[in-house]
Amino acid sequence: MNIMANGAHLPETPREFGFFVDGAWHAGQDWFERTSPSHDVPVTRVPRCTKEDLDTAVAAARRAFEDRSWAGLPGAERAAILLRTAEGLRRRRDEIARWEVLENGKPLTQARGEIDHCIACFEVAAGAARLMRGDSFNNLGDNLLGLLLREPIGVVGLITPWNFPFLILCERVPFILASGCTLVVKPAEVTSATTLILADILTEAGLPPGVYNVVTGSGRTIGQALAEHPDVDMLSFTGSTGVGRSCVHASADSNLKKLGLELGGKNPIIVFADANLHDAADAVAFGISFNTGQCCVSSSRLIVERSVAREFESILTAKMKKIRVGDPFDPETQIGAITTDAQNRTILGYIAQGKEEGATLLCGGEALDLGRGQFIQPTLFSDVTPSMGIAREEIFGPVLSSFHFDTPEEAIAIANDTVYGLAASLWTRDLDKALTVTRRVRAGRFWVNTIMAGGPETPIGGFKQSGWGRESGLLGVEEYTQVKSVHIETGGRTHWIAS
């Protein structure tokens, strides 16, 4: 038996899952075996579902929607099931965190923190289920009353990524359920375990059959088929901008389904000379290293005022060299493994490209050999120019590019010089400067003197090529609804055709 740091045990044989449709587990005919990216041992086996399996899942979700077993419930009853789910997550927190670590490679301490956020998502969504409302128009004259009804959009397809398998799932699912929709989930092939575990927890909480269905398999087969499916009313996708474009085409070529897209980012973190430089440096190091930089909102472009740039880069380099990379079950570990072989090669390729293009390497820049698994040092490049690949393309790894500026206008221009607009961070003691820059940088999430802060009460989403729509909070429930205008006339009708 493999015993890791903190007494954690690796599975002697992979845990085998089925797929979940219409309230029941189903066995697969073919299997995908996942190997831990940190430990190089097989940890899970999930079915490679077929398009026929997907059709069955969509049909189950459609039946559950049309029979009103979920949409027809009062918001208070939906809220009660969401709250019981939150309690189920609390009870199984350690189990869920362990499988996140084994499949994804992230540190255990981080995984546990993410599940706490997931619990909060279900609790906030429970409140939103009771608060969702329409509107009325009492200004149409004495004989006409206007109503706006919010109705669930129907069957939702949900495609989630491998970098935050459970967190992104739970930033969507409870709000989709709060709206009254049913759903079919397609998790990333390499990180399906916790999405399947949620099926058990929801069922125990009293969710009716067919409301939550999970079909596992590759993006090219099951994901594409879900995006194209004519009986799916809305698709929520989190992943790359390139695949997001394919979802747009699939929607256009099928039934013009509504899309919610959270896509790529090349997020700026702006540091002014008047900031607390040590606080800012710690935030920058965290912002590029959290989840090994495999994070849509990671701060991958440092934009620092020239008068303090070299001093700040020196402070930052010293901090980044102290970041602990290693076994994710070790409570001291801050950065775990790179999740997939392909992503590991991509990150190392960008590091090599940065060196070739003439950027100055201040720290990191190499893979780490820890005896097993795949790990990369946190990496900082300075003297980066806007034309370099590391400056413009989403690396999705712990690689930070540093730019220098002289005026706030120049900092804003550099921050906005990207096709993306997902998130941004700003560090300054000057309130006027903070408000000016915050209002002019184009990003869906903005942090001032903090980084990656906030909870599920506030919406998330991007500008420009970072996506469409918003998730979480009341807006995250409304995203999965459609508005119906109703007019009710009182009194007799004035006849169009004279008697």
Residue 29: left if φ>0, alpha if ψ -120 to 50, beta else—which one?
alpha
Beta-sheet strands, E only, within 291-431: 299-305, 360-363, 367-368, 375-376, 379-382, 399-405, 420-421, 423-427
Question: Which of the following is catalytic: 100, 262, 394, 479?
Answer: 262
Strands 267-271 and 399-405: unpaired
State both tokens at 427: 């560090």
What lies within 8 Å, CB to CB, of 307 at 6+ separation is: 273
Rounded distance, CA 275 to CA 170, Å? 35
Among 16, 186, 5, CA closest to 99: 16
Among 393, 388, 423, 421, CA closest to 403: 388
482 neighbors 151 (Cβ within 8 angstroms): yes
Rounded distance, CA 169 to CA 467, Å? 17
What lies within 8 Å, CB to CB, of 120 at 6+ separation is: 455, 456
Exposure b/e, 365-397, CB count within 10 A at least 16 = b: beeeeeeebbbbbbbbbbebeeebebbbbbbbb
Exposure b/e, 212-248, CB count within 10 A at least 16 = b: bbbbbbebebbbbbbbbbebbbbbbbbbebebbebbe
Q: Specify whether 262 is catalytic.
A: yes
Residues designated catalytic: 262
